[in-house]
């Protein structure tokens, strides 16, 4: 599903992404949940998370590991009732997390 979501990204957008690992994990860790606790509703599921340093925060001499976007299979499976919905949720989550890679905050993104 992640491959399908990535293939559906506009080429000009996908071409700007460098050194980003996209991983599928079963569930978010406690650390993941704590990092977004203030931003999330109590009833919402965490579908994905960006782990890295946004392009807008980097300096030329900053040693960096590859950035990572984690997509969480369990939460997506719980909110999607069809495969098509799951693919759409993965795509929207990847796009949202890439927004963080490009330096956008949640309130600067449409969802």
79: confidence class by pLDDT, cuts 50, 70, 90: very high
Query: Could you tell me the residue ranges of all domains in the chain?
Result: 2-56+66-108
Q: Report pLDDT digits (tens) over 16-44.
A: 788 889 999 999 999 999 888 666 555 68
- Alpha-helical regions (H) of the chain: 2-7, 11-14, 30-36, 73-79, 83-101
Look up the pTM and report it: 0.84
Asked if residues 20 and 67 have their Cβ atoms less than 8 Å apart, the reply is yes
Instruction: Give, in words, the CATH class of 2-56+66-108.
Output: alpha beta
pLDDT at 39: 60
């Amino acid at each position: 599903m992640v491959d399908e979501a990535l293939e559906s990204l506009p080429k000009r957008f996908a071409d700007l992404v460098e050194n980003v690992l996209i991983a599928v994990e079963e569930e978010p860790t406690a650390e993941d949940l704590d990092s977004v606790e203030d931003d999330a509703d109590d009833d919402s599921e965490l579908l994905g998370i960006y782990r890295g340093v946004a392009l807008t925060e980097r300096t030329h001499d900053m040693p960096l590991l590859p950035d990572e976007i984690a997509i969480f299979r369990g939460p997506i499976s719980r909110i999607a009732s069809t495969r098509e919905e799951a693919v759409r949720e993965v795509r929207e989550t990847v796009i949202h997390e890439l927004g963080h890679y490009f330096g956008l905050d949640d309130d600067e993104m449409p969802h």
